[in-house]
Structure 1
Amino acid sequence: MNTTSFAGLGIEEPLLSRLAEYGINEPSPVQAESIPAALSGRDVLAQSQTGTGKTLAYLLPVLQKMNTAEKTLQGIVLAPTQELAMQIYREAEKYGETLGVGVQALIGGAAIKRQLERLKQHPQLVVGTPGRIREILALRKLKLHTVRMVVVDEVDQMFQLGGTADVEHILRGTLRERQLMFLSATINGEIRNLAGKEMTDPVEIGIEPEQRTAKSLEHIYFLTEERDKIDMLRRIIRHYDPSRTIVFINHTDNIAEVEAKINYVGLNAGALYGDADKTVRAATLRRFREGKIRVLIASDIAARGLDIEELELVVNLDPPPDTEHYVHRVGRTGRMGRKGLAVSIISPKEEFIIRKFARELRITISAREMYAGKVIEPNASSSGRSKATPGKGRVSGLSGQGTAKHSGAKEGTAKRTPAVRAAEGREVVSGNASGSTGGAKRAGTGAVKGNRTNGGRKNDREQDRKNKGAPRWLKEKRNKE
C-alpha cells in the first residue's frame, strides 16, 4: 500500500480533487494509519497529538462510505464542546458536498426548533454534542437504528465533562454491527475500558505516543510576580507581534478582568466563556478568525479542539492544571508541521509546575527574560546590566533595591525617583514590603485599619473589580451568587 498519497490509502474522487483544492496532497502519519483501517470497517482507537490531522483521518473514510442513495442517518460524529462540533461540521459539509452527502449539526445552545426542521431533510451524517443529541432522541425526533458508523472525537475530554453516560446511551441505540472510532491526543485507562466494552478487535494507532506535543513547537516560560503577569503578557505580545494569540486562564471568574485590562493597553481582546451564550461565543470566534480580535482570552473547555489558521502564539497566563491540559492548550499552535510558540507566564512559586511538565512530557521548556524590549536567556550578559535573581527585578529590570545594588551604592541609599517612591509606598500598602519611609508606613497602617473597620466592604470592592468590563449577563450572574 502506498501511504504517501491519499489515493494510495484508498481515497477516491471527488474527495481527492477537493483535498487538492485546499492544498492537502500528502497524508499525515495519523491519516496514513487510520484511513485504511476505517475504510475496511475496523474499529479504531487512535492517539495522536493535537494538530496532526485527526479530523480528516476519520471524516474522509466516513464520508466515502456513505450511501447517498439512502436518505437515512448512517453516521454520527460526537464532540465534547459546541465549538469543536461546529468546526467538525464545517469540515464535513465542505468535503461531503462533493459527494452529495447531507450533513447536519445538532449542537446544544442553538435553537432546537430549527434543528428539528432540518432533520426532515434526512441527513446521512450528524455532527453534534452528546447532550443535544440525547435531548432530541428523547423527543423521538431522531432514530439511530440505521446508524452504522460512530466517531467520538476528543474522547478524553468527553470523560472530563461527564458526557460518557450520554455517549453510552447513544451507542446503545445504533446498529449492533456498527463501526466505532475513538480519537484523542491522550488515552487513559477509562477510555481503554470503554473501548474494550464497546469495540470489537480495535486497531490501536499511536503516533509517537511519547511525543505528545508537536516537534515544531518551541516551549518557553517567563518568571514574574503574580501582580505583574498582565504587564508581562502585554510585553510578550508586543515583542513577538503575532496576528493572533490565544491566552489561557484557569478561572472564568477572572476572564472579564483580563479581557478589560488587555483592551485597556490597546491589544483588542475578546473572551471565550464556557458558560456564555452560543451566539456570543460563535461571534467572538468568527471575529478572532477574521483578525478583528487580536487576543482571545479563553478557558480550557471553550477552546478545546479549536483549529485556528495561522495561530502563531499560545500563552498560559495561569499554569495548566496538569500535563493533559498543557498538551491541548499548546496544541492550538504548531499544527500540521507548522512552527508555533507556547509561552507560560509563571510566578516563582509556580516554577516547579513547569519543570514537572517538561519531565513528564519529555520536552524542553526554556526559561527566558524580557530586558530592554528583547527576549534573552536568564543571566545573559547585556550592556550595563547585572545578573538578576527571581523576584528582585529579574523580569522588569527595575526596583529600588536592584537600582541601589547596580549603582554600587549601599542598599537603601540610592537616589529614588518619584515613580520609584510611589511604587514603594504602594508595596507597603499592599503588604508586599517590610519597610520604607515614614509616610509610606502611615499609608500602610491606614490601609490595614481601613480593612478592619470596613469589614465586608472589602469583598464588595473585590466583586466590583472583577465585574469591571464584564458583559451584563456575567455581572447579573455574579450578583445573584
Structure 2
Amino acid sequence: MNATSFTALGIDQSLVDGLSEYGITEPTPVQAEAVPAILKGADVLARSQTGTGKTLAYLLPILQSIDVELKSAQKLVIAPTQELAMQIVRESEKYGQIRGIQVLGLIGGAALKRQVEKLKQHPQLIVGTPGRLRELIEVRKLKMHHINAIVVDEVDQVFQLGGAGDVDRILRSALRDRQLVFLSATVSPETAGLVKREMENPLEIGIDPDQSTAKGLEHIYFAGEERDKVENLRRVIRHFNPKKVMVFVNQTETIGEVQAKLNFMGLPAEALYADADKMVRSRVLAGFRSGKFKVMVASDVAARGLDIEGLEMVINYDPALDSEHYVHRAGRTGRMGRSGLVISLVTNRQIFIMNKFAKELGISLEERKLYGGKVLEPREVPSSQGQAARRKPEDKDTTAKANISSGAADQGSVKRRPDKEESRKAPGPAKKQIEPFRGGKPSERQSRSERERKNKGAPKWLKDKKNP
C-alpha cells in the first residue's frame, strides 16, 4: 500500500474512487498531515500556501464523519466571502453525493426566506458566510445543538473583513466539545489569539513555513512610468497571451477604468466588484470560468479565495498592500502543484516594494523588460533603447530655439513682417499703437510711463533698442 495514498490516510474507498474520477490520486502534503488528525477529532490549525489543497484536507474527513442516518446539521464550514463559500459548496456536493449527504450554502446577499425553507430539509453540512450564519442562528432557524465540528477557512481573511464578532457568536452557540479546524495561508496575531482562546491542545500543521507561495510560481515585475501603466498592461497580456488572467487593483474606483481601457484596446475584460449583488458576481465568474472573456479585473476583497480552473497568470496592476496580500493574490494561480506566473507593474519608485516582498516571502522576484518581442533582464536590453527617439524632439526644439535667438540678434537689419492671422484679428486703431523704430530720440512731451505702455506689445529686439 502506498504510504501517501488517501486509503492509507483513512479515507473510505467510496470517496477515494470519487477523487480518482477527477484525476486526484495522491494527497498533497497538507492533506497528508491534516486528514488523519481531523479524522481523530483533534483541533487543528493548518497553515499552508494558497492552492495546496487545503479545502479537501478538511472536507474529506468531515464528509466521512457525517452520520447519514441523522437528518440534522452536523458540520459547519465558515468562509470569508460568498465566492469561496459557494466553491466549498460545489466541492462538498461533488463528493458528498457519493455518500448521500445533503449540503446547503447560506451566504449573504441571497434571499433569507428561501434559505430558511431549505433548512427545513435538514441538510447535514452547512457552508456559509459569518454574517448570514449568525443572523440565522439568532432567529433560531439554524439549530446548532448537533453541530460537532466547525471549520473556519481562510481565517485571517475573516478577521480582515470584519467577521471576528460573528465567528465568536457562532462558536459560543455550538456544543462545548465541538471540534475546531482553522485554515489559512498566513497566521495573524488575531488568529493566534483565537486559537489560544478556543482550541484545546491544537495540532499545528505548517507546510514549508519558509515558502509562503507555491513552488510552481514564477514572480517577475516590470517597471515603467505611471502614465504608461495601462499600455504596459496591454503589452504584457498580449505578449504572454494567457487563456485567462486576473488583474488586481488596490482601489475599487480603478476597476471600471482599467476594464474599459482594456476593452477599448481589444482585450475582452469584465470587472468583479465586492459590493455587486450575488447574481452579477455569479454571472461574471461563470463567464470567466467558461472563457467568455480573457481578463477579469478585481480588488483583493472581490477575489478573495477564488479558485479558477486554468488560471495561468495573475497581474498586480497596483503593488499588493503587503506581503500577505501578495500571497493571496499569487495563490489564485499555480494551484495544486501546477505552474503559474505572477507579474507586478510598478514605477521606479515602487521597486523597493518588490525587493521587500522577495525578502519577506523568501521568493525570487526580479525585474524584466519587454524588448524586441522578448522578455529580457534589464542588463540584456541595449543601453541605447529609446534614447534616440526621445532625443529627436528635444534636438528639434533646441534647434528652433537657437534659430529664434540667432534671428533675434539680427533683427536690427530685418523688418518684421506681421503674421496674417494677427493682421486679420487686430482692429485698425491697434496698428498705430506700436510704431516702427526709425531712430532718433522719442518726443520730449512723451512721459516714460507712456513709452513703457506702448512698448508692452513690441518685439524683444525693439524693446532692447528703446531701452538701452
TM-score by length of 2: 0.83
Aligned to 2:368: 368
Distance 1:205 1:3, change over 3 A: farther
Query: Displacement, 1:75?
Result: 0.6
- Aligned counterparts, 1:180-195, within 5 A: 180-195=180-195
Aligned to 2:60: 60
| Cα distance in 1 between the residues matched to 2:37 and 2:140 | 33
Q: 2:122 aligned with 1:122, yes or no?
A: yes
Can you list the C-alpha shifts for 1:224-269, whole angstroms capped at 9, x where unaligned? Answer: 1111111111111111110000000000011111110011111110
| Cα distance in 1 between the residues matched to 2:388 and 2:230 | 17
Aligned to 2:167: 167
Aligned to 1:21: 21
Aligned to 1:435: none
**In the alignment, residue 155 of structure 1 is paired with which amino acid?**
V
**In the alignment, residue 366 of structure 2 is paired with which amino acid?**
S
Question: Aligned-pair RMSD on alpha carbons?
Answer: 1.6
| Cα distance in 1 between the residues matched to 2:352 and 2:3 | 42
- Aligned counterparts, 1:241-260, within 5 A: 241-260=241-260
Distance 1:3 1:201, change over 3 A: farther
Distance 1:415 1:6, change over 3 A: farther
Aligned to 1:386: 383
Secondary structure of the corresponding residue to residue 181 of structure 1: strand
**In the alignment, residue 334 of structure 1 is paired with which amino acid?**
G
Aligned to 2:390: 400
**In the alignment, residue 332 of structure 1 is paired with which amino acid?**
R
- Aligned counterparts, 1:134-149, within 5 A: 134-149=134-149
Secondary structure of the corresponding residue to residue 195 of structure 1: helix
| Cα distance in 1 between the residues matched to 2:81 and 2:356 | 28
Aligned to 2:31: 31
8 Å contact from structure 1 (residues 106, 115) kept in 2: yes
Can you list the C-alpha shifts for 1:415-466, whole angstroms capped at 9, x where unaligned? Answer: 99xxxxxxxxxxxxxxxxxxxxxxxxxxxxxxxxxxxxxxxxxxxxxxxxxx
Secondary structure of the corresponding residue to residue 368 of structure 2: strand
Distance 1:111 1:246, change over 3 A: same
Secondary structure of the corresponding residue to residue 318 of structure 2: coil
Secondary structure of the corresponding residue to residue 300 of structure 2: coil
| Cα distance in 2 between the residues matched to 1:376 and 1:117 | 59
8 Å contact from structure 1 (residues 74, 147) kept in 2: yes
- Aligned counterparts, 1:11-410, within 5 A: 11-381=11-381, 385-387=382-384, 393=386, 399-401=389-391
**In the alignment, residue 41 of structure 2 is paired with which amino acid?**
G
Secondary structure of the corresponding residue to residue 71 of structure 1: coil
| Cα distance in 1 between the residues matched to 2:112 and 2:283 | 19
Superposed structure 1 runs of 4+ greater than 2 Å apart? 385-388, 397-401, 411-416
| Cα distance in 1 between the residues matched to 2:266 and 2:144 | 51
Can you list the C-alpha shifts for 1:350-405, whole angstroms capped at 9, x where unaligned? Answer: 11111110111111111111113321111315xxx4355xxxx5xxx88523x58x
**In the alignment, residue 105 of structure 1 is paired with which amino acid?**
G
Aligned to 1:412: 395
8 Å contact from structure 1 (residues 319, 344) kept in 2: yes
**In the alignment, residue 390 of structure 2 is paired with which amino acid?**
G
Can you list the C-alpha shifts for 1:98-135, whole angstroms capped at 9, x where unaligned? Answer: 01111000000111111111111000010000101111
| Cα distance in 2 between the residues matched to 1:194 and 1:233 | 41
**In the alignment, residue 238 of structure 1 is paired with which amino acid?**
R
Aligned to 1:433: none
**In the alignment, residue 221 of structure 1 is paired with which amino acid?**
Y
| Cα distance in 1 between the residues matched to 2:397 and 2:241 | 36
Q: Name stretches of at least 5 consecutive residues in structure 1 with no aligned partner.
A: 405-410, 417-481
Identity of aligned residues (%): 59
Query: Displacement, 1:159?
Result: 0.8
Distance 1:399 1:114, change over 3 A: farther
Can you list the C-alpha shifts for 1:325-374, whole angstroms capped at 9, x where unaligned? Answer: 00000111111111100000001111111111011111111111111332
Secondary structure of the corresponding residue to residue 379 of structure 1: helix
**In the alignment, residue 258 of structure 1 is paired with which amino acid?**
V
Secondary structure of the corresponding residue to residue 91 of structure 1: helix
Secondary structure of the corresponding residue to residue 99 of structure 1: coil
Query: Displacement, 1:193?
Result: 1.0
8 Å contact from structure 1 (residues 380, 387) kept in 2: no
| Cα distance in 2 between the residues matched to 1:398 and 1:195 | 61
**In the alignment, residue 313 of structure 2 is paired with which amino acid?**
L
Can you list the C-alpha shifts for 1:170-195, whole angstroms capped at 9, x where unaligned? Answer: 01111111100000000122111101
| Cα distance in 2 between the residues matched to 1:379 and 1:21 | 48
Query: Displacement, 1:414?
Result: 8.9
Secondary structure of the corresponding residue to residue 19 of structure 2: helix
**In the alignment, residue 89 of structure 2 is paired with which amino acid?**
Y
| Cα distance in 2 between the residues matched to 1:112 and 1:3 | 46
Query: Displacement, 1:198?
Result: 0.6
8 Å contact from structure 1 (residues 379, 387) kept in 2: no
Query: Displacement, 1:2?
Result: 5.6
**In the alignment, residue 304 of structure 2 is paired with which amino acid?**
R
8 Å contact from structure 1 (residues 243, 312) kept in 2: yes
Alignment length (residue pairs): 399
8 Å contact from structure 1 (residues 249, 316) kept in 2: yes
| Cα distance in 2 between the residues matched to 1:251 and 1:398 | 37
Query: Displacement, 1:166?
Result: 0.3
Query: Displacement, 1:310?
Result: 1.2
Secondary structure of the corresponding residue to residue 366 of structure 1: strand
| Cα distance in 1 between the residues matched to 2:106 and 2:333 | 28
8 Å contact from structure 1 (residues 2, 9) kept in 2: no
**In the alignment, residue 322 of structure 2 is paired with which amino acid?**
D
| Cα distance in 1 between the residues matched to 2:103 and 2:198 | 25
Can you list the C-alpha shifts for 1:184-232, whole angstroms capped at 9, x where unaligned? Answer: 0001221111011111111100001110011110000000111111111
| Cα distance in 2 between the residues matched to 1:364 and 1:213 | 11
